[in-house]
Structure 1
Amino acid sequence: MLLRQALRNNYALRAQLPRSFEATSLRSSPAPSNQPAWPRFSSTEAPASNEDPEALLLAKVKYGIKEAMKAKDSLTSTVLRSIVSEHQYSAKQKGNQVSKVSKLITKAIKRRQDTAKQFRAAKPPREDLAEQEEKEAAVLETFLPEAK
């Protein structure tokens, strides 16, 4: 009961103080508003629907990394991290022109399929490595956008 009364008095006193004094106070609470005090940014946050499909695909890949890490699926998380890494590398190399994520995924799939063929064509065939490359390609195919 006394605590409630003290809190009411505290809020009433703050309302009477000038704004400049309230801003310098160490224990002042932020003024209530509709917008959050700190904007929240997250790599796994889904972008707005009005953004381009490449940004949506990149967000989907980053969300896939997060889910793979939660599931302790090292294969999926490693493959998806390689895509994000390639995307960041292309952003640094080409300046403002960034490679499309869908093109990076298709190139990575083709690269892994070619590597699997090379492992099978080797003199002592390496089926274990070929199967590993095919598993990685299958993971990437799930993130490839469907052709219309």
Structure 2
Amino acid sequence: MLRSSCLPSLAAAPLALLRSSYATTATTVHPLVATLRGALKQSMLARTTERTSVIKSILADIQTAQHAAGNAPTPLKSLATAISRRVDAAQTFRSSTPPRADLAEQYEREATILREFVPQKSADALSKEQIEKLVKEVLVANELKKAVGKDTGRIIALVREQTGDRAEAKDIAAAVKSIELP
């Protein structure tokens, strides 16, 4: 039998410390996810079932990708993948024998709904010159004159870490492959 004197006293720990440990576990939410959640709430209030189901599906895709092992794609990448899947499905249903126009139109509507959430080029997007400057800085920091072979992917990844969502991966890759320091 344990005596109460053997157990640590919770009264000794200030309540504020206990509460603060729970408050620090909050995670940051990607702006796209916050936008989708707001749109979901509005859609549910407006009782638009198709829009609600499409937004729920993309939120589920994003959450599933975040829980996957390895490098999780960004929510923007998950959104782009969902749009392309729906466009491909619509094309498949249009070209099937017999054509299923009803299903093709449904997938096209879903793709249109998802396209509303694709962010337009923002003011903080990096220009081609800014990307090239970052690539040169990373090359110098890694003591390379040109990215060749395995170094190419590593340099692209390092630049992507610095740019985040402010630059397209294809633009970064093109800059890394084209730049050669003297």
For structure 2, list consecutive stretches of 5 or more residues without a partner in the other structure.
1-22, 123-182
Letter of the 1:124 counterpart: P
> Partners in 1 of 2:98 and 2:92 — Cα distance?
11
Residues 73-116 of structure 1: per-residue CA shift (max 9 Å, x gap)? 11111111111111111121126x43211111111111100000
- Specify the structure having the higher radius of gyration (Cα): 1
For 1:1-148, what aligned pairs fall within 5 Å after superposition? Answer: 55-94=30-69, 97-148=71-122
Q: Paired residues, what number?
A: 99
- SS for the counterpart of 1:143 is coil
Please identify runs of 4+ aligned residues in structure 1 that moved more than 6 A.
none
| TM-score, normalising length: structure 2 | 0.50
- Shift of residue 59, structure 1, vs aligned partner: 0.2
> Partners in 1 of 2:78 and 2:64 — Cα distance?
11
For structure 1, list consecutive stretches of 5 or more residues without a partner in the other structure.
1-38, 40-50
The percent identity for this pair of structures is: 34
> Partners in 1 of 2:104 and 2:121 — Cα distance?
27
| TM-score, normalising length: structure 1 | 0.61
> Partners in 1 of 2:108 and 2:82 — Cα distance?
11
Letter of the 1:67 counterpart: Q
